[in-house]
Amino acid sequence: MSVAQPLIAMPATARSRALKDRLLVGLLGFSILLTLGILVVILGVVAVRGAGQISWTFLTQPPREGLTGGGIYPAIVGTAALVLLMTIVAVPFGVATAVYLHEYTPREGPRLAWGRYAASKGQKGRVALFRRVLSAGLATIVRSAVANLAGVPSIVFGLFGLGFFIQFVGRALDRWTQPPGEIVWGQGSLIWAAMTLALLTLPTVIVATEEALRTVPPEQREASLALGATRWETIRRIVLPASLPGILTGAILGVSRGAGEVAPILFTGAAYYLPFLPHHVTDQFMHLGYHVLILSTQSPDVDATEPLLYGTVFVLLGLTFLLNLTGVLIRSRTRARLGGR
């Protein structure tokens, strides 16, 4: 698409401009290379120094000798349990919220809905129009709440988990279910950490699900409704099956983000070291990310821990990337099927 250039006697200004142009493009291209380079370097360093640590013993043994030997088995199990619990809470809830936002609220914004209502003076069916105004308003509030939830710092989620789930909900449960003085729920544990993380991943799931629902053509819904199906039947039989890959992608991306977060679980249940595996949702747990923090900042013997540290990071990165990659692959395959972006 280049503009025709004069073949001979290019004026000096034009030539210097061409040079400047090329320099600029080079600079922009360099930024991309830098970005890719950073990823390659981080992955490279972790892979080179970490992959060698992976062995059967490392993956199936608990830490030994004050974290300077042994493996990371409890941390793997703890992370898996945490992620599973978090998924059970976050995904159904997130999908339901997205379905509400996209299927149960009017497409127009509250302002437009209000305009229609105001213009309908003296006509029949004004109540329905007014209900649309309320519904559109609620949807706007929910959307901005979700957008803001996505921006709340993860450490604040940790504070919230401690203040709400443990001190408030947990203590209340103890008062009702346990003999006086006994503390079962009112302390850091698997369930509260999972709930905190679920809250953190919720926005990712909601946004991705809504995007997936948007790809289902409205005609399909209308056809289903015209055939006499109720709205719920339309959602269950038509909309959800069609948007399943997109929902899956969102769920996986959300879960992989949650799997690597450490700040929210610092005070809600992650343990420095546990000789046993968690058996109950009220047990504390070890976690790969938290283990990385502990090994890199509180090791009694830095040289002895370093190989273990690289091994742990390798496993953690492997886990999140595997999840991420699955999500991205599912999405790009669906996109290819639907054609274009």
Enumerate residues 199-218 that contact other proteins by CB under 8 A. 199, 202, 206
Candidates 77, 149, 277, 304: give the one binding other proteins (CB under 8 A): 149
Choices 122-130, 208-216, 217-225, 309-317 (CB under 8 A): range interacting with other proteins: 309-317
- Residue-wise over 61-95: b if at least 16 C-beta within 10 A, else e? ebbeeebbebbbbbbbbbbebbbebbbebbbebbb
> At closest approach, how far in Å is the CB of 260 from other proteins?
3
- Nearer to other proteins by C-beta: 123 or 211? 211
Ranges within 241-270 binding other proteins (CB under 8 A)? 253, 256-257, 259-263, 266-267
> At closest approach, how far in Å is the CB of 309 from other proteins?
7
Task: Pull the structure tokens for residue 287.
Answer: 């976690």
Residue 239 touching other proteins (CB under 8 A): no
Residue 240 touching other proteins (CB under 8 A): no
Candidates 10, 15, 24, 220: give the one binding other proteins (CB under 8 A): 24
Residue 233 touching other proteins (CB under 8 A): yes
Backbone angles phi, psi at 70, to 5 degrees: 75, -155
> At closest approach, how far in Å is the CB of 7 from other proteins?
17
How many chain residues bind other proteins (CB under 8 A)? Answer: 91
Candidates 9, 12, 28, 226: give the one binding other proteins (CB under 8 A): 28
Residue 297 touching other proteins (CB under 8 A): yes
Choices 68-76, 113-121, 179-187, 284-292 (CB under 8 A): range interacting with other proteins: 284-292
DSSP secondary-structure letter at 70? E
- Nearer to other proteins by C-beta: 120 or 324? 324
d(CA 163, CA 158): 9
d(CA 228, CA 149): 38
CB 214 within 8 A of CB 242: no
> At closest approach, how far in Å is the CB of 139 from other proteins?
8
> At closest approach, how far in Å is the CB of 288 from other proteins?
9
Count CB atoms within 10 A of the CB of residue 220. Answer: 13
Residue 130 touching other proteins (CB under 8 A): no
Task: Pull the structure tokens for residue 62.
Answer: 């608990």
> At closest approach, how far in Å is the CB of 132 from other proteins?
14
In which element (H, E) is residue 69 found?
A: strand 69-70
Ranges within 67-126 binding other proteins (CB under 8 A)? 93, 96-97, 99-101, 103-104
Residue 16 touching other proteins (CB under 8 A): no
Task: Pull the structure tokens for residue 160.
Answer: 């919230």
Three-state secondary structure call for residue 83: helix
Candidates 8, 9, 12, 32: give the one binding other proteins (CB under 8 A): 32
- Residue 70's beta-bridge partner residues? 63
- Residue-wise over 101-130: b if at least 16 C-beta within 10 A, else e? bbbebbeeebeebbeebeeeeeeeeeeebe
Candidates 52, 66, 115, 153: give the one binding other proteins (CB under 8 A): 153
Question: Own/partner pairs for 289-296, CB < 8 Å, 24+ apart?
Answer: 289/79, 289/259, 289/260, 289/261, 289/262, 289/265, 289/316, 290/75, 290/262, 290/265, 290/266, 291/72, 291/75, 292/262, 292/316, 293/262, 294/67, 295/67
d(CA 246, CA 215): 9
> At closest approach, how far in Å is the CB of 122 from other proteins?
29
> At closest approach, how far in Å is the CB of 261 from other proteins?
7
Three-state secondary structure call for residue 8: coil
Ranges within 160-179 binding other proteins (CB under 8 A)? 160, 162-164, 168
Residue 158 touching other proteins (CB under 8 A): yes
